[in-house]
Structure 1
Amino acid sequence: MMAWNLKRRDVLGAGALGTAAVGLGALARSEPGRSRTVTLVEESGVPESRQFASALIDNGFAGEVIRIDPSLNGLLYELEATTGTIIGMTSDPVAMIAGQLLRERGAHARQFWQHHFAGGRWRHRTEGSARLIESTTHAWPVAVAHQLQSVMDNRSPQVTNDCTSGPCALLASSPGMLVSWVYEFEGYQS
Protein backbone atom coordinates (compact mmCIF):
# COMPACT_ATOMS: atom_id res chain seq x y z
CA MET A 1 0.00 0.00 0.00
CA MET A 2 2.87 2.39 0.72
CA ALA A 3 4.25 2.00 -2.84
CA TRP A 4 0.89 3.07 -4.28
CA ASN A 5 0.87 6.27 -2.16
CA LEU A 6 4.39 7.15 -3.28
CA LYS A 7 3.54 6.52 -6.92
CA ARG A 8 0.35 8.55 -6.71
CA ARG A 9 2.09 11.50 -5.03
CA ASP A 10 4.95 11.46 -7.53
CA VAL A 11 2.66 11.20 -10.52
CA LEU A 12 0.32 13.92 -9.36
CA GLY A 13 3.15 16.27 -8.36
CA ALA A 14 5.04 15.86 -11.62
CA GLY A 15 1.84 16.01 -13.66
CA ALA A 16 0.95 19.37 -12.17
CA LEU A 17 4.50 20.63 -12.69
CA GLY A 18 4.57 19.38 -16.27
CA THR A 19 1.20 20.85 -17.15
CA ALA A 20 2.17 24.23 -15.76
CA ALA A 21 5.62 24.20 -17.34
CA VAL A 22 4.79 23.24 -20.91
CA GLY A 23 1.02 23.49 -21.33
CA LEU A 24 0.57 19.78 -21.86
CA GLY A 25 -3.18 19.81 -21.80
CA ALA A 26 -3.17 20.87 -25.43
CA LEU A 27 -0.44 18.52 -26.69
CA ALA A 28 -2.54 15.40 -27.12
CA ARG A 29 -5.14 17.47 -28.92
CA SER A 30 -2.75 19.70 -30.86
CA GLU A 31 -4.28 18.62 -34.18
CA PRO A 32 -7.96 17.85 -33.53
CA GLY A 33 -8.64 16.35 -36.96
CA ARG A 34 -5.71 13.94 -36.85
CA SER A 35 -6.40 10.31 -36.14
CA ARG A 36 -3.76 9.03 -33.75
CA THR A 37 -3.05 5.34 -33.22
CA VAL A 38 -0.71 5.03 -30.26
CA THR A 39 -0.03 1.76 -28.45
CA LEU A 40 1.78 1.95 -25.14
CA VAL A 41 3.89 -0.89 -23.70
CA GLU A 42 3.99 -0.93 -19.89
CA GLU A 43 6.32 -3.26 -18.01
CA SER A 44 4.11 -3.76 -14.95
CA GLY A 45 6.89 -4.93 -12.60
CA VAL A 46 8.89 -1.72 -13.16
CA PRO A 47 7.62 1.30 -11.18
CA GLU A 48 9.10 3.83 -13.62
CA SER A 49 7.35 2.13 -16.54
CA ARG A 50 4.03 2.33 -14.67
CA GLN A 51 4.55 6.06 -13.96
CA PHE A 52 5.45 6.74 -17.60
CA ALA A 53 2.40 4.83 -18.83
CA SER A 54 0.06 6.54 -16.33
CA ALA A 55 1.18 9.97 -17.49
CA LEU A 56 0.47 9.17 -21.16
CA ILE A 57 -2.83 7.46 -20.37
CA ASP A 58 -4.02 10.30 -18.13
CA ASN A 59 -3.19 12.81 -20.87
CA GLY A 60 -5.21 10.84 -23.44
CA PHE A 61 -2.14 10.18 -25.60
CA ALA A 62 -2.30 6.36 -25.77
CA GLY A 63 -5.16 4.48 -27.38
CA GLU A 64 -4.21 0.96 -26.29
CA VAL A 65 -1.98 -0.36 -23.50
CA ILE A 66 -0.02 -3.61 -23.57
CA ARG A 67 0.86 -4.61 -20.01
CA ILE A 68 3.58 -7.21 -19.69
CA ASP A 69 4.64 -9.06 -16.57
CA PRO A 70 8.21 -10.01 -15.51
CA SER A 71 8.04 -13.18 -17.63
CA LEU A 72 7.28 -10.96 -20.67
CA ASN A 73 3.95 -12.73 -21.17
CA GLY A 74 1.96 -11.03 -23.86
CA LEU A 75 4.82 -9.07 -25.42
CA LEU A 76 5.33 -11.24 -28.51
CA TYR A 77 1.66 -11.96 -29.12
CA GLU A 78 0.43 -8.41 -28.47
CA LEU A 79 3.05 -6.70 -30.64
CA GLU A 80 2.04 -8.86 -33.62
CA ALA A 81 -1.24 -6.94 -33.96
CA THR A 82 0.03 -3.37 -33.45
CA THR A 83 0.00 -0.60 -36.04
CA GLY A 84 0.73 3.11 -35.96
CA THR A 85 3.04 4.29 -33.18
CA ILE A 86 4.27 2.06 -30.37
CA ILE A 87 5.78 3.68 -27.25
CA GLY A 88 7.34 2.23 -24.13
CA MET A 89 9.59 2.87 -21.19
CA THR A 90 10.93 -0.54 -20.32
CA SER A 91 14.01 -2.38 -19.16
CA ASP A 92 16.69 -2.74 -21.80
CA PRO A 93 15.94 -6.42 -22.63
CA VAL A 94 12.26 -5.67 -23.25
CA ALA A 95 13.19 -2.69 -25.44
CA MET A 96 15.56 -4.88 -27.49
CA ILE A 97 12.98 -7.65 -27.99
CA ALA A 98 10.20 -5.20 -28.88
CA GLY A 99 12.50 -3.33 -31.26
CA GLN A 100 13.55 -6.50 -33.05
CA LEU A 101 9.95 -7.67 -33.45
CA LEU A 102 8.72 -4.28 -34.64
CA ARG A 103 11.59 -3.80 -37.11
CA GLU A 104 10.91 -7.27 -38.56
CA ARG A 105 7.33 -6.16 -39.16
CA GLY A 106 8.47 -2.97 -40.94
CA ALA A 107 8.47 -0.35 -38.17
CA HIS A 108 11.30 2.15 -37.85
CA ALA A 109 12.79 3.60 -34.67
CA ARG A 110 11.82 7.20 -34.04
CA GLN A 111 13.16 7.74 -30.46
CA PHE A 112 15.50 5.75 -28.26
CA TRP A 113 16.32 7.48 -24.98
CA GLN A 114 18.44 5.97 -22.21
CA HIS A 115 17.99 6.31 -18.44
CA HIS A 116 20.32 4.78 -15.87
CA PHE A 117 20.78 5.11 -12.13
CA ALA A 118 24.24 6.01 -10.83
CA GLY A 119 25.54 7.95 -7.86
CA GLY A 120 22.13 8.39 -6.23
CA ARG A 121 20.57 10.03 -9.31
CA TRP A 122 18.99 9.07 -12.61
CA ARG A 123 21.01 10.08 -15.65
CA HIS A 124 19.15 10.65 -18.92
CA ARG A 125 20.08 10.91 -22.56
CA THR A 126 17.06 12.43 -24.31
CA GLU A 127 16.08 15.04 -26.86
CA GLY A 128 14.50 18.44 -26.29
CA SER A 129 14.65 20.57 -23.18
CA ALA A 130 16.09 18.95 -20.05
CA ARG A 131 14.82 21.46 -17.47
CA LEU A 132 11.67 19.56 -16.54
CA ILE A 133 13.56 16.28 -16.03
CA GLU A 134 16.38 17.89 -14.04
CA SER A 135 13.93 19.30 -11.49
CA THR A 136 12.40 15.90 -10.64
CA THR A 137 13.41 13.06 -8.34
CA HIS A 138 11.19 9.93 -8.30
CA ALA A 139 8.70 11.49 -10.74
CA TRP A 140 11.14 11.76 -13.65
CA PRO A 141 9.24 9.13 -15.74
CA VAL A 142 6.27 11.52 -15.82
CA ALA A 143 8.53 14.36 -17.00
CA VAL A 144 10.03 12.07 -19.67
CA ALA A 145 6.52 11.13 -20.86
CA HIS A 146 5.59 14.78 -21.26
CA GLN A 147 8.88 15.58 -22.98
CA LEU A 148 8.46 12.63 -25.36
CA GLN A 149 4.95 13.77 -26.19
CA SER A 150 6.25 17.27 -26.94
CA VAL A 151 9.09 15.99 -29.14
CA MET A 152 6.72 13.73 -31.08
CA ASP A 153 4.39 16.63 -31.81
CA ASN A 154 7.34 18.70 -33.07
CA ARG A 155 8.66 17.35 -36.38
CA SER A 156 11.75 19.61 -36.45
CA PRO A 157 15.13 18.10 -35.44
CA GLN A 158 15.75 18.11 -31.71
CA VAL A 159 18.99 18.60 -29.81
CA THR A 160 20.25 15.53 -27.96
CA ASN A 161 21.13 16.25 -24.35
CA ASP A 162 22.35 14.55 -21.21
CA CYS A 163 20.89 15.55 -17.86
CA THR A 164 20.64 14.31 -14.30
CA SER A 165 17.53 14.24 -12.14
CA GLY A 166 17.49 15.30 -8.51
CA PRO A 167 18.92 12.94 -5.86
CA CYS A 168 16.77 9.90 -5.08
CA ALA A 169 17.04 6.28 -3.99
CA LEU A 170 16.62 3.44 -6.45
CA LEU A 171 13.24 1.80 -5.93
CA ALA A 172 13.46 -1.88 -5.01
CA SER A 173 11.85 -3.27 -8.19
CA SER A 174 13.58 -0.89 -10.59
CA PRO A 175 16.14 -2.44 -12.96
CA GLY A 176 18.28 0.71 -12.76
CA MET A 177 18.68 0.83 -16.57
CA LEU A 178 15.68 1.81 -18.66
CA VAL A 179 14.98 2.83 -22.22
CA SER A 180 12.12 4.99 -23.47
CA TRP A 181 11.45 4.21 -27.11
CA VAL A 182 9.12 4.95 -30.01
CA TYR A 183 8.61 2.90 -33.19
CA GLU A 184 6.39 3.85 -36.13
CA PHE A 185 5.18 1.83 -39.05
CA GLU A 186 5.86 3.08 -42.60
CA GLY A 187 3.43 5.68 -43.83
CA TYR A 188 2.28 6.60 -40.33
CA GLN A 189 3.34 9.74 -38.53
CA SER A 190 1.90 10.46 -35.10
Structure 2
Amino acid sequence: MAWKLTRRDVLGAGALGTAAVGLGTLARSKPGRGRTVTLVEESGVPESRQFAAALIDSGFAGEVIRIDQSLNGLLHELEATTGTIIGMTSDPAAMIAGQLLGERGAHSRHFWQHHYTNGRWRHRIEGGARLIGNTTHAWPVAIAHQLQSAIGNRSPQVSNACTSGACALLASSPGMLVSWVYEFEGHQS
Protein backbone atom coordinates (compact mmCIF):
# COMPACT_ATOMS: atom_id res chain seq x y z
CA MET A 1 0.00 0.00 0.00
CA ALA A 2 1.63 3.23 -1.13
CA TRP A 3 0.91 6.43 0.77
CA LYS A 4 0.68 9.55 -1.32
CA LEU A 5 0.85 12.60 0.93
CA THR A 6 0.98 16.15 -0.27
CA ARG A 7 2.16 19.22 1.61
CA ARG A 8 -1.48 20.27 1.98
CA ASP A 9 -2.36 16.96 3.67
CA VAL A 10 0.49 17.35 6.16
CA LEU A 11 -0.41 20.97 6.89
CA GLY A 12 -4.09 20.06 7.17
CA ALA A 13 -3.29 17.30 9.64
CA GLY A 14 -1.13 19.72 11.63
CA ALA A 15 -3.92 22.29 11.75
CA LEU A 16 -6.40 19.61 12.75
CA GLY A 17 -4.03 18.33 15.44
CA THR A 18 -3.65 21.83 16.86
CA ALA A 19 -7.42 22.36 16.82
CA ALA A 20 -8.03 18.91 18.32
CA VAL A 21 -5.61 19.67 21.16
CA GLY A 22 -7.57 22.82 21.86
CA LEU A 23 -10.85 20.95 21.67
CA GLY A 24 -9.34 18.09 23.63
CA THR A 25 -8.96 20.26 26.70
CA LEU A 26 -12.70 20.89 26.57
CA ALA A 27 -13.49 17.35 25.58
CA ARG A 28 -11.52 15.73 28.38
CA SER A 29 -14.17 16.63 30.90
CA LYS A 30 -15.77 13.48 32.18
CA PRO A 31 -19.42 12.80 31.49
CA GLY A 32 -21.78 14.15 34.15
CA ARG A 33 -22.39 12.20 37.31
CA GLY A 34 -24.79 9.34 36.72
CA ARG A 35 -24.49 9.58 32.91
CA THR A 36 -23.49 6.50 30.99
CA VAL A 37 -21.93 6.97 27.54
CA THR A 38 -21.78 3.89 25.32
CA LEU A 39 -19.84 4.05 22.07
CA VAL A 40 -20.57 1.82 19.06
CA GLU A 41 -17.55 1.12 16.85
CA GLU A 42 -17.85 -0.71 13.55
CA SER A 43 -14.45 -2.42 13.59
CA GLY A 44 -14.25 -3.08 9.84
CA VAL A 45 -14.63 0.64 9.02
CA PRO A 46 -11.42 2.69 9.45
CA GLU A 47 -13.32 5.96 9.95
CA SER A 48 -15.41 4.39 12.72
CA ARG A 49 -12.25 3.17 14.47
CA GLN A 50 -10.68 6.64 14.20
CA PHE A 51 -13.86 8.29 15.56
CA ALA A 52 -14.04 5.80 18.44
CA ALA A 53 -10.35 6.23 19.31
CA ALA A 54 -10.82 10.00 19.63
CA LEU A 55 -13.71 9.58 22.08
CA ILE A 56 -11.95 6.84 24.04
CA ASP A 57 -8.71 8.85 24.27
CA SER A 58 -10.60 11.86 25.62
CA GLY A 59 -12.16 9.68 28.33
CA PHE A 60 -15.68 10.44 27.10
CA ALA A 61 -16.92 6.89 26.43
CA GLY A 62 -17.58 4.60 29.36
CA GLU A 63 -18.31 1.42 27.43
CA VAL A 64 -17.44 0.37 23.87
CA ILE A 65 -19.49 -2.00 21.74
CA ARG A 66 -17.45 -3.32 18.82
CA ILE A 67 -19.41 -4.81 15.94
CA ASP A 68 -18.17 -6.54 12.80
CA GLN A 69 -19.42 -6.43 9.21
CA SER A 70 -22.19 -8.94 9.91
CA LEU A 71 -23.70 -6.56 12.53
CA ASN A 72 -24.68 -9.70 14.51
CA GLY A 73 -23.64 -8.35 17.89
CA LEU A 74 -25.46 -5.06 17.47
CA LEU A 75 -28.95 -6.24 18.44
CA HIS A 76 -27.80 -8.20 21.46
CA GLU A 77 -25.38 -5.54 22.75
CA LEU A 78 -27.80 -2.60 22.45
CA GLU A 79 -30.59 -4.36 24.33
CA ALA A 80 -29.16 -3.53 27.74
CA THR A 81 -27.77 -0.04 27.10
CA THR A 82 -28.99 3.08 28.87
CA GLY A 83 -27.85 6.69 28.99
CA THR A 84 -26.24 8.14 25.87
CA ILE A 85 -25.30 5.93 22.92
CA ILE A 86 -22.94 7.32 20.25
CA GLY A 87 -21.68 5.84 17.01
CA MET A 88 -20.15 6.47 13.62
CA THR A 89 -21.21 3.51 11.56
CA SER A 90 -22.35 2.47 8.13
CA ASP A 91 -25.92 3.38 7.27
CA PRO A 92 -27.38 -0.11 7.89
CA ALA A 93 -25.88 -0.26 11.40
CA ALA A 94 -27.15 3.25 12.19
CA MET A 95 -30.64 2.37 10.94
CA ILE A 96 -30.78 -0.85 13.00
CA ALA A 97 -29.48 0.90 16.12
CA GLY A 98 -31.99 3.73 15.64
CA GLN A 99 -34.93 1.33 15.30
CA LEU A 100 -33.93 -0.75 18.30
CA LEU A 101 -33.15 2.23 20.55
CA GLY A 102 -36.29 4.07 19.43
CA GLU A 103 -38.45 1.07 20.30
CA ARG A 104 -36.87 1.04 23.74
CA GLY A 105 -37.73 4.74 24.28
CA ALA A 106 -34.50 6.52 23.33
CA HIS A 107 -34.65 9.86 21.53
CA SER A 108 -32.42 10.83 18.62
CA ARG A 109 -30.20 13.82 19.43
CA HIS A 110 -27.98 13.90 16.33
CA PHE A 111 -27.93 12.19 12.97
CA TRP A 112 -25.08 13.47 10.78
CA GLN A 113 -24.42 12.07 7.31
CA HIS A 114 -21.04 11.58 5.58
CA HIS A 115 -20.90 10.66 1.86
CA TYR A 116 -17.79 9.99 -0.21
CA THR A 117 -18.07 11.51 -3.70
CA ASN A 118 -15.55 12.73 -6.27
CA GLY A 119 -12.53 12.06 -4.05
CA ARG A 120 -13.91 14.00 -1.05
CA TRP A 121 -16.10 13.40 1.98
CA ARG A 122 -19.26 15.53 2.11
CA HIS A 123 -20.78 16.14 5.54
CA ARG A 124 -24.27 17.21 6.68
CA ILE A 125 -23.90 18.17 10.32
CA GLU A 126 -25.20 20.59 12.95
CA GLY A 127 -23.05 23.35 14.35
CA GLY A 128 -19.80 24.76 12.99
CA ALA A 129 -18.46 23.00 9.92
CA ARG A 130 -15.25 24.98 9.36
CA LEU A 131 -12.88 22.61 11.20
CA ILE A 132 -14.34 19.55 9.50
CA GLY A 133 -14.23 21.16 6.06
CA ASN A 134 -10.48 21.76 6.38
CA THR A 135 -9.59 18.18 7.19
CA THR A 136 -8.56 15.36 4.91
CA HIS A 137 -7.76 11.96 6.45
CA ALA A 138 -8.50 12.87 10.08
CA TRP A 139 -12.07 14.16 9.66
CA PRO A 140 -13.53 11.44 11.97
CA VAL A 141 -11.50 12.96 14.84
CA ALA A 142 -12.95 16.40 14.09
CA ILE A 143 -16.46 14.88 13.97
CA ALA A 144 -15.86 13.18 17.35
CA HIS A 145 -14.88 16.49 18.96
CA GLN A 146 -17.74 18.36 17.26
CA LEU A 147 -20.25 15.75 18.43
CA GLN A 148 -18.84 15.74 21.94
CA SER A 149 -19.26 19.51 22.09
CA ALA A 150 -22.78 19.31 20.63
CA ILE A 151 -23.89 16.78 23.26
CA GLY A 152 -23.19 19.29 26.01
CA ASN A 153 -24.97 22.10 24.14
CA ARG A 154 -28.77 22.04 24.48
CA SER A 155 -29.50 25.04 22.23
CA PRO A 156 -30.86 24.37 18.73
CA GLN A 157 -28.16 24.23 16.07
CA VAL A 158 -28.29 25.07 12.41
CA SER A 159 -27.70 22.32 9.87
CA ASN A 160 -24.59 22.77 7.71
CA ALA A 161 -23.05 21.04 4.75
CA CYS A 162 -19.31 21.02 4.13
CA THR A 163 -16.73 19.12 2.12
CA SER A 164 -13.45 17.70 3.42
CA GLY A 165 -10.26 18.18 1.50
CA ALA A 166 -9.38 15.65 -1.18
CA CYS A 167 -8.66 12.19 0.21
CA ALA A 168 -8.71 8.61 -1.01
CA LEU A 169 -11.41 6.23 0.13
CA LEU A 170 -9.91 3.33 2.02
CA ALA A 171 -10.83 -0.08 0.65
CA SER A 172 -12.74 -1.16 3.76
CA SER A 173 -14.78 2.05 4.05
CA PRO A 174 -18.41 1.84 2.94
CA GLY A 175 -18.38 5.39 1.52
CA MET A 176 -21.60 6.31 3.37
CA LEU A 177 -21.36 6.79 7.12
CA VAL A 178 -23.62 8.21 9.79
CA SER A 179 -22.63 9.82 13.11
CA TRP A 180 -25.47 9.44 15.57
CA VAL A 181 -26.46 10.00 19.20
CA TYR A 182 -29.44 8.54 21.06
CA GLU A 183 -30.39 9.28 24.66
CA PHE A 184 -32.78 7.71 27.11
CA GLU A 185 -34.94 10.07 29.21
CA GLY A 186 -33.50 10.71 32.65
CA HIS A 187 -29.96 9.96 31.44
CA GLN A 188 -29.43 13.05 29.30
CA SER A 189 -26.15 14.90 29.36
TM-score after normalising by structure 2: 0.88
3-state secondary structure, aligned to 1:70: coil
Give 1:19's aligned residue. 20
User: How many residues matched?
Assistant: 181
Alpha-carbon distance change, 30 to 53 in structure 1, aligned in 2, over 3 angstroms = closer
- What is the alpha-carbon distance in structure 1 between the residues aligned to residue 15 and residue 63 of structure 2? 23
- Opposite residue 82 of structure 1, the aligned amino acid is T
Alpha-carbon distance change, 56 to 30 in structure 1, aligned in 2, over 3 angstroms = closer
- What is the alpha-carbon distance in structure 2 between the residues aligned to residue 62 and residue 13 of structure 1? 25
Give 2:6's aligned residue. none
For structure 1, the 5+ residue unaligned runs are 4-8
Query: Which aligned pairs between 1:72-111 and structure 2 lie closer than 5 A?
Result: 72-111=71-110
Give 1:6's aligned residue. none
**Runs of at least 4 residues off by over 4 Å:** 12-15
Query: Which aligned pairs between 1:1-190 and structure 2 lie closer than 5 A?
Result: 16-20=17-21, 22-29=22-29, 34-190=33-189
8 Å Cα contact 1:15/1:55 also seen in 2:
no
3-state secondary structure, aligned to 1:19: helix
Instruction: Give 1:153 deviation, angstroms.
Output: 1.1
Instruction: Give 1:24 deviation, angstroms.
Output: 2.5
- What is the alpha-carbon distance in structure 2 between the residues aligned to residue 41 and residue 105 of structure 1? 17
8 Å Cα contact 2:20/2:142 also seen in 1:
no
8 Å Cα contact 1:84/1:184 also seen in 2:
yes
- What is the alpha-carbon distance in structure 1 between the residues aligned to residue 23 and residue 180 of structure 2? 23
- Opposite residue 93 of structure 1, the aligned amino acid is P
Instruction: Give 1:187 deviation, angstroms.
Output: 1.8
- What is the alpha-carbon distance in structure 2 between the residues aligned to residue 152 and residue 85 of structure 1? 9
Instruction: Give 1:138 deviation, angstroms.
Output: 1.1
3-state secondary structure, aligned to 2:128: coil
For structure 2, the 5+ residue unaligned runs are 4-9
Q: Output the aligned Cα RMSD.
A: 2.2
TM-score after normalising by structure 1: 0.88
1:17-61, Cα deviation, whole Å (9 max, x unpaired): 3334x4332334177x63331000000000000000000000001
8 Å Cα contact 1:135/1:165 also seen in 2:
yes
1:128-182, Cα deviation, whole Å (9 max, x unpaired): 1111101111110010000001111111111110000000111100000000000
- What is the alpha-carbon distance in structure 1 between the residues aligned to residue 172 and residue 43 of structure 2? 10
